[in-house]
Structure 1
Amino acid sequence: MVTQLPADFLAFSKQWEGFRADAYPDPGSRDGTPWTIGYGQTVIDGVPVKKGDTITEARATQLLQQRHNTLAARALSVVRMPLSPYQLATLVSFADNVGWGGGGKIGFSNSTLLKKLNSGDYSAVPGELAKWKYNDGKVMEGLINRRAAEAGLWVKGSFVSSAPVDAKPGNPLTELMTPERMAAGGGLLGGAAAIASGNGPVQYAMAALMVIAAITIAIVVIRKATR
């Protein structure tokens, strides 16, 4: 089981969280709570962020890294399947955005995504990610885009197997149809279907791009198998 996040994940997370030096209210919440600062920070040293708070970029980066490390450890404690570094990063990004869950709240720890992953259904993750596009009951374009980026992060790394495999000659096509390629193609198609279920040109365009990516993977596999 992987225990370390990829080096480029911090930049990925910063891109989607965005830095704000001054505290601001949640734009998707009816009452504006929770207040947020830095890179998506809502609590600092156990104290909720409040109106008027400020922060430096360096301190915000430190707090973001602390969140990543904490969520990575928690994710590894509940995920029963092997993960690549980028798959772990995907789960950390997702949990950081939607919350951990529990105590009557829905989040990563009690999500269908986690249940399907723990059953070994890696390819279901992108489609499950795409379902989390609501904030306070409203569809948010920013969440649609973030879920699509997380789906791409999920298929970026290589699948990690925990069991040894004996080396032996095999069918080239069979060897090319590895778990990570199957998960990539199936995951992209699943994510495209989930995204396309929404309405609007942005969803349709993103779904089309994901379908094209899945077709490209299939063409590469076939070409390599026939050489």
Structure 2
Amino acid sequence: MSALAYAVSLVKKWEGCRLEAYPDPGSGGDPWTIGYGATGPGIKKGVRWTQAQADDRLALDVDRFLKGVRSVLKRPATDAQLGAMTSLAYNIGASAFAKSTLLRKFNAGDIGAAAAEFLRWNRAGGKVMKGLANRRADELEVFQS
């Protein structure tokens, strides 16, 4: 399986897909979101997508995150490792991933310590979230495969 396929599979599984735009749960408004977590120009209240539109946008977004993850790696990664790190970056943001201890440890060649870092990204609003803990365990499993 390619790195892109690993990442798309993880993101699809954990993000879920909504074909009608919905407001940000935190703000009750912007940014409006649709598909598998897509935001940006043209996404606002009342927008509806087909499944094909959601899948196409996901492929573009995941490819963009994959390129971003590759750009900060200083050592080779397997497709599984790259896919898992891309899923993490998609969820936490490219900037947070680029500053992460996980990336620093991976780049230093300490793959075991890098793997353990996945499980630390399990909080939202300071609280441990079961869904995030489960997602991180899944990403860790792929990373180690």
Q: Same fold (TM over 0.5)?
A: yes
Partner residue in 1 for 2:62 = 68
In 2: Cα distance, 1:35 partner to 1:6 partner: 25
In 1: Cα distance, 2:58 partner to 2:105 partner: 28
**Does the residue aligned with 2:112 lie in a helix, a strand or coil?**
helix
Partner residue in 1 for 2:85 = 91
8 Å CA contact 1:113, 1:124 repeated in 2? yes
Q: Deviations over 1:193-212 (max 9, x none)?
A: xxxxxxxxxxxxxxxxxxxx
RMSD of equivalent CA atoms:
1.8
**Does the residue aligned with 1:37 lie in a helix, a strand or coil?**
strand
Which among 16, 19, 38 is matched to residue 21 of structure 1? 19
8 Å CA contact 2:6, 2:79 repeated in 1? no
Is there any run of 5+ residues in structure 1 with no aligned partner, and where? 102-106, 157-227
8 Å CA contact 2:6, 2:84 repeated in 1? no
CA shift at 1:70, angstroms?
1.1
Partner residue in 1 for 2:104 = 115
**Does the residue aligned with 1:22 lie in a helix, a strand or coil?**
strand
Q: Deviations over 1:15-36 (max 9, x none)?
A: 1111101122344x2x235322
In 1: Cα distance, 2:22 partner to 2:126 partner: 20
TM-score by length of 1: 0.58
8 Å CA contact 2:4, 2:62 repeated in 1? no
1:5 corresponds to 2:16: no
Aligned length in residues: 143
Q: Deviations over 1:87-113 (max 9, x none)?
A: 110111000000011xxxxx1011111
8 Å CA contact 2:24, 2:32 repeated in 1? yes
Q: Deviations over 1:156-185 (max 9, x none)?
A: 1xxxxxxxxxxxxxxxxxxxxxxxxxxxxx
Is there any run of 5+ residues in structure 2 with no aligned partner, and where? none
CA shift at 1:48, angstroms?
6.3
In 2: Cα distance, 1:83 partner to 1:74 partner: 14
1:137–1:48 Cα change, 3 Å: farther
Which is further off, 80-89 or 137-146?
137-146
CA shift at 1:128, angstroms?
0.9
Report which structure shows greater RCO (CA 8 Å, sep ≥6): 2
CA shift at 1:142, angstroms?
1.0
**Does the residue aligned with 1:23 lie in a helix, a strand or coil?**
strand
Partner residue in 1 for 2:47 = 53
CA shift at 1:11, angstroms?
3.0
Q: Deviations over 1:109-128 (max 9, x none)?
A: 11111111111111112321
1:142 corresponds to 2:131: yes
Amino acid paired to 2:143: W
Rg larger in structure: 1
TM-score by length of 2: 0.88
Structure 1 runs of 4+ with >3 Å offset: 6-9
**Does the residue aligned with 2:34 lie in a helix, a strand or coil?**
strand
CA shift at 1:147, angstroms?
0.5
CA shift at 1:52, angstroms?
2.1
Partner residue in 2 for 1:35 = 32
Partner residue in 2 for 1:80 = 74
Amino acid paired to 2:60: Q
